[in-house]
Amino acid sequence: MWENYLVMERLKKQEYLLEQANNYFWRTYSQQEIDFVEEREGKLFGFEMKWGASGAKPPKEWLKAYPNATWQIINRQNYLELISG
């Protein structure tokens, strides 16, 4: 539910601010995944959504395939940055 809440609120923010973005989920055959990916202004932004303050690391395949992309953990401490206008 946490992931769903954040994704829906992020989509609302994009709509409200008229942000042009393509939104994706990313997963490999080996089950590496990123919960939410935005493509905007020619860049990729990956977000891993965790309820707790987990020490998760970006998937190696993500870093290899998209070396110029960003990746960020979104949790209860910083989620407002993702969804606030």
Domain 2-83, CATH 2.40.50 — does that match? no
The whole-number pLDDT of residue 56 equals: 83
Q: How far apart are CA 50 and CA 54, in angstroms?
A: 7
Q: How far apart are CA 68 and CA 83, in angstroms?
A: 23
The whole-number pLDDT of residue 53 equals: 72
Helices vs. strands in the chain: H and E counts, helices first:
3, 4
The whole-number pLDDT of residue 85 equals: 65
The whole-number pLDDT of residue 55 equals: 77
- Could you report the average pLDDT of every consecutive run of 10 residues in the chain (85 residues)? 95 94 95 94 95 84 94 93 86
**Which 3 state secondary structure label does DSSP give 6?**
helix
The ranges assigned to domains in the chain are 2-83
